[in-house]
Amino acid sequence: MEPATSDRWQAAFFKLRSNKAFELFVIGIIVFSALVIGVKTYPLPETLVQVVGVLDWMITLIFLVEIVIRFLGEPEKKRFFRSGWNVFDTLIVVVSLIPIEDTEMALIGRLIRIFRVLRMVSIIPELRMLLNSLLKALPQLGYVMLMMFIIFYIYAAIGSTFFASINSELWGDIALSLLTLFRVMTFEDWTDVMYETMAVYPFSWAYYLTFIFFTAFAFLNMVIGIVVNVLEEEHQRMAAEEAEAAGEPTLKDLQQEIQELKQLLQSQAAAQK
């Protein structure tokens, strides 16, 4: 039985989207679109602005065609939108297609075009894997991050209670205090902040020093936690690989074989009696 025309088309598109040259072409277009975005940030003569506008639409069109090809090439249409990256790609392209005249909305249109650079991650499998491994590492940090936030919050509450009247721009409310504390954590002109409050509360250096100590210590623990986790996983993966790849028997296997030997000998001895 001959496959239906649509099936043949689907197979053709599937072949096309799996094509290495096609993939490289798409990567090339993404790089080109990134360059166009970069060029647009420079002051350009009127004619070049129009050229860039045309290039922009061409890129959008190529992306549209590419998404359509990838969708038509999908054997099971429903599964296509299960992948977050496909949804992201489609959204970026669809929103790029909406003609925006309003100046407010125009900014959003430019933002969308900038996010097209992220398609690089969606199309290069190694980057996708890297991002996944980064995201997978996040939940492990959950409790350390919560602990750090509690430290930040308590210090911010104390800071805005005592220092709000000294410098309301830095300590005016808890949000500003949180930002100021983040600044202190990055050591960015933190002594200026400290000397200002020390003029009123001479012992406020203790506030900053304990804060720096706590956050540095929590941060260090976070880093060590990640390193240990990564090393442990590596270790287990390697151990598993070695054991499987080499077909290496475990000590338990050896023990069993030795015990079988013993039984053999004992039954032999019993038979000879």
Binding residues for its own copies restricted to 14-43, rule: CB under 8 A? 34, 37-38, 41-42
Query: What minimum distance in Å lies between the beta carbon of 78 and its own copies?
Result: 30
- Interface with its own copies by CB under 8 A: which range of 60-68, 79-87, 92-100, 151-159? 151-159
200 binds its own copies (CB under 8 A): no
Which residues 6+ apart lie within 8 Å of 93 measured at CB? 60, 63, 64, 67
Q: Which is nearer to its own copies, 61 or 154 (CB)?
A: 154
53 binds its own copies (CB under 8 A): no
7 binds its own copies (CB under 8 A): no
Residue (of 182, 173, 176, 192) closest to 151 by Cα position: 182
Q: Which is nearer to its own copies, 81 or 149 (CB)?
A: 149
165 binds its own copies (CB under 8 A): no
Query: What minimum distance in Å lies between the beta carbon of 132 and its own copies?
Result: 12
203 binds its own copies (CB under 8 A): no
154 binds its own copies (CB under 8 A): yes
Q: Where are the alpha helices (DSSP H) in 73-124?
A: 77-80, 84-97, 103-115, 119-123
Cβ-count burial of 135 within 10 angstroms (0-12 exposed, 13-18 middle, 19+ buried)? exposed
Q: Which is nearer to its own copies, 5 or 272 (CB)?
A: 272
- Interface with its own copies by CB under 8 A: which range of 9-17, 48-56, 67-75, 187-195? 187-195
201 binds its own copies (CB under 8 A): no
How many CB atoms within 10 Å of residue 46? 7
Residues 66-125 that bind its own copies (CB under 8 A): 107, 110-111, 114-115, 117-118, 120-121
- Interface with its own copies by CB under 8 A: which range of 8-16, 74-82, 83-91, 166-174? 166-174
8 Å CB contact between 175 and 193: no
Query: What minimum distance in Å lies between the beta carbon of 86 and its own copies?
Result: 19
How far apart (Å, rounded) are the C-alpha atoms in residues 80 and 98? Answer: 23
Cβ-count burial of 30 within 10 angstroms (0-12 exposed, 13-18 middle, 19+ buried)? buried
Please report the DSSP string for 28-51 in residue order: HHHHHHHHHHHHHTS---HHHHHH
Residue (of 141, 175, 184) closest to 156 by Cα position: 175
- Interface with its own copies by CB under 8 A: which range of 11-19, 49-57, 75-83, 214-222? 214-222
8 Å CB contact between 24 and 83: no
268 binds its own copies (CB under 8 A): yes
Residue 178's SS3 state is helix
